């Protein structure tokens, strides 16, 4: 077979979270796009890696772009809904998420999806990337995007990049180590043990019910139960299981406390193929042993969910095991700017980080995030500067943004990055690596690539305000670039409020100023919403400053925490007295012990009254 050559406007290598989003957005913008993925499932962390309980960007105002579109598609297509676990508001079967991405890609006639090849070389002419060579295929493109899980194109193309930790003096980050080599540094043991964050090979359990003849899980020869003995200490077995409870009686095992994070010999992740496969085999065995430990402790009703993932020849995962590891850290580009811990921490006295401003004085945010800074090093705790806030009756992370310049190489033309491989410090990567953020990064990168093709320019020459406007006006999945908590996409001034910060990045934006009194809210809440459950009872609320906590007692012995993702509900509940009778509509999550409130109104005969 003679090698094939393809010419394209935009090439994306890697079908992970960011690469998939980039390909969809570039093609929707009109670019002739090629997406090359090694696996037949698209979506990476969200699907093939089995992390079907995404973290962050949960507030309604932040459910925009492809992230919001993905959530709405899941709501329509996931039997049993998404309210099952306490780690996330959105849990689903990985195969449902994969089907959504495949349908989106296959609906685009100008997007060619090629499954199987791994990149072998980056084609460069001087300091410009021209394409990528695979075994029997070479794709030339005007703009190439690295969407691989570990930043493979950065290494293959000799694009300047980072791997691992930085000292505090490099970026003045409060949580970074003073020294990477001094054994007196408090972080020395972590640094020496883990060059990057530990990945996890997710495995799914299935509850077959009491008395069922569930096949027993087999441990490996080196099984050591002491590794997992304190896995649910402080939680209990029920709380442990419902952490990652999915629909169809499945449970995601992605547990950090003496669980299945696997951080042995992580330098192998960027080694040769044999080293990578050796690490993968060990990580799968570790997760298999963890699953065996769970079954031995909880009973044989909890077996492997053997039909969760497809079996692929030559692929180490499949069945109950994810098709790929959940990588938390990648090689990281050296870009025009670097996102550091200071860029993700809230300003003093504020609830959000500052908006980024580039060298030209332009506000350069193109994607939003909010998750707390979360690092995984089995056996160690890394003290980190706090970035959390209580909003809507629960704790959430404080919002931040990603600058466009973090996607653009400092020294190379014709290339963008679109996954965890952006220009970010090791410390800040703990917040920027989360699934909704990476979807936003991918969407922005795909839009930027298509705009560069339209204008015949390099990524560094693209005006960031052009990219921001294109994202806000995207016809299918418009994406926010500023994390306003009270500005829903349905609001008539949604775009104008977002665009305001192009010229006023210094202005505070973290308010909940929807300006509704309770009677006005009741009138507004008659808008069409999906069928909800209604709970009548006594709302008991306590408020501290701008935050509140509330519980609803709806029978003599039954109480649910009251939480909301809606800014109007948040504001109205904050106006209530310490205790009052109320009717709340929303979605109960019995595993989490909360009621996600969507509306507050008098009892309606069309609502189902639940007392459990």
Under the banding of pLDDT at 50, 70 and 90, the label for residue 512 is low
> What pLDDT is attached to residue 518?
46
Mean pLDDT to the nearest integer, 384-406: 95
pLDDT digit string, tens, across residues 132-188 = 999 999 999 999 999 999 999 999 999 999 999 999 999 999 999 999 999 999 999
User: Under DSSP, is residue 11 helix (H, G, I), strand (E, B) or coil?
Assistant: strand
> What pLDDT is attached to residue 171?
97
CA dihedral 405, 411, 413, 419 (to 10 degrees): -50
Domains in the chain, please, with CATH? 4-163+330-503 (3.50.50.60), 203-304 (no CATH), 518-609 (2.40.50.430)
pLDDT digit string, tens, across residues 554-607 = 877 789 999 999 999 998 898 888 888 889 999 999 999 999 999 887 544 444
Q: Residue 263: which of 199, 323, 324, 188 has the closest Cα?
A: 199
pLDDT digit string, tens, across residues 285-336 = 999 999 999 999 998 899 999 999 999 998 899 999 999 999 999 999 999 9
When the pLDDT of each residue in the chain is averaged and rounded to a whole number, the result is 92
What lies within 8 Å, CB to CB, of 558 at 6+ separation is: 611, 612
pTM over 0.75: yes
The DSSP code sequence of 188-245 is HHHHHH-SS---B--EEEEE--TT--PPPPPPPTT--GGGGTTTTTTT-HHHHHHTTE
Residue 193, CA distances (Å) to 264, 289, 430 in order: 8, 22, 17
pLDDT digit string, tens, across residues 79-118 = 999 999 999 999 999 999 999 999 999 999 999 999 999 9
* Torsion over CA: 164, 167, 172, 177 (sign): positive
What lies within 8 Å, CB to CB, of 18 at 6+ separation is: 44, 147, 418, 419, 420, 438, 439, 441, 442, 445
CB 382 within 8 A of CB 329: no
Q: Cα separation of 361 and 365, whole Å?
A: 12
Q: Cα separation of 44 and 13, whole Å?
A: 12
Q: Cα separation of 153 and 415, whole Å?
A: 10
What lies within 8 Å, CB to CB, of 99 at 6+ separation is: 77
User: Under DSSP, is residue 162 helix (H, G, I), strand (E, B) or coil?
Assistant: strand
């Amino acid at each position: 077979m003679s090698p094939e050559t393809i010419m394209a406007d935009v090439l994306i290598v890697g079908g992970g979270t960011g690469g998939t989003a980039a390909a969809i957005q570039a093609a929707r913008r009109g670019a002739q796009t090629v997406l090359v993925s090694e696996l037949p499932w698209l979506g990476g962390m969200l699907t093939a890696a089995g992390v079907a309980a995404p973290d962050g960007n949960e507030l309604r105002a932040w459910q925009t772009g492809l992230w919001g579109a993905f959530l709405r598609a899941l709501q329509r297509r996931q039997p049993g809904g998404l309210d099952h676990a306490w780690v996330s508001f959105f849990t689903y079967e990985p195969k449902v998420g994969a089907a959504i991405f495949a349908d989106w890609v296959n609906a685009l006639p100008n997007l060619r999806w090629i499954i199987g090849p791994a990149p072998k070389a980056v084609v460069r002419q001087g300091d410009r990337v021209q394409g990528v060579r695979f075994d029997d295929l070479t794709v030339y493109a005007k703009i190439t995007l690295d969407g691989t899980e570990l930043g493979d194109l950065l290494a293959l193309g000799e694009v300047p990049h980072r791997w691992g930790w930085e000292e505090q003096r490099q970026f003045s980050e409060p949580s970074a180590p003073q020294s990477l080599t001094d054994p007196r540094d408090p972080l020395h043991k972590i640094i020496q043990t883990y060059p990057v964050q530990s990945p996890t090979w997710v495995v799914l359990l299935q509850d077959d019910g009491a008395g069922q003849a569930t096949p027993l899980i087999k441990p490996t020869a080196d099984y050591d139960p002491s590794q997992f003995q304190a896995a649910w200490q402080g939680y209990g077995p029920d709380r442990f299981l419902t952490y990652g409870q999915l629909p169809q009686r499945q449970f995601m095992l992605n547990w950090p406390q003496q669980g299945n994070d696997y951080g042995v010999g992580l330098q192998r992740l960027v080694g040769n193929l044999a080293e990578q496969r050796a690490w993968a085999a060990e990580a799968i065995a570790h997760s298999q042993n963890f699953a065996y430990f769970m079954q031995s402790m909880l009973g044989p009703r909890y077996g492997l969910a053997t039909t969760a993932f497809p079996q692929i020849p030559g692929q180490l995962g499949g069945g109950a095991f994810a098709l790929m590891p959940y990588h938390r850290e990648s090689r990281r580009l050296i870009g025009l700017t670097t996102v550091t811990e200071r860029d993700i921490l809230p300003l003093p006295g504020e609830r959000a980080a500052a908006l980024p401003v580039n060298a030209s004085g332009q506000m350069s945010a193109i994607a939003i995030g909010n998750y707390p800074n979360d690092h995984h090093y089995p056996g160690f705790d890394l003290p980190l500067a706090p970035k959390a806030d209580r909003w809507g009756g629960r704790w959430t992370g404080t919002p931040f943004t990603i600058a466009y310049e973090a996607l653009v190489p400092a020294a190379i033309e014709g290339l963008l990055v679109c996954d965890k491989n952006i220009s970010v410090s090791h410390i800040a990567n703990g917040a920027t690596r989360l699934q909704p953020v990476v979807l936003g990064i991918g969407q922005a990168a795909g839009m930027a690539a298509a705009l560069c093709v339209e204008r015949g320019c390099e990524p560094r020459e693209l005006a960031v305000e052009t990219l921001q406007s294109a994202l806000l006006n995207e016809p299918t999945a418009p994406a926010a670039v500023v994390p306003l908590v009270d500005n829903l996409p349905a609001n008539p001034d949604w775009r104008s409020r977002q665009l305001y910060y192009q010229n006023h990045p210094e202005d505070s934006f973290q308010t909940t100023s929807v300006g509704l009194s309770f009677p006005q809210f009741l009138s507004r809440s008659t808008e069409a919403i999906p069928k909800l459950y209604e709970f009548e009872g006594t709302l008991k609320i306590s408020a501290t400053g701008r935050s509140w906590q509330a519980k609803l007692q709806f029978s003599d012995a039954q109480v649910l925490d009251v939480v909301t993702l809606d800014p109007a509900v948040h504001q109205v509940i904050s106006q209530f007295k310490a205790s009052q009778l109320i009717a709340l509509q929303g979605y109960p999550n019995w595993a989490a012990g909360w009621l996600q409130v969507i509306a507050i109104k008098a009892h309606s005969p069309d609502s189902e009254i639940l007392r459990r």
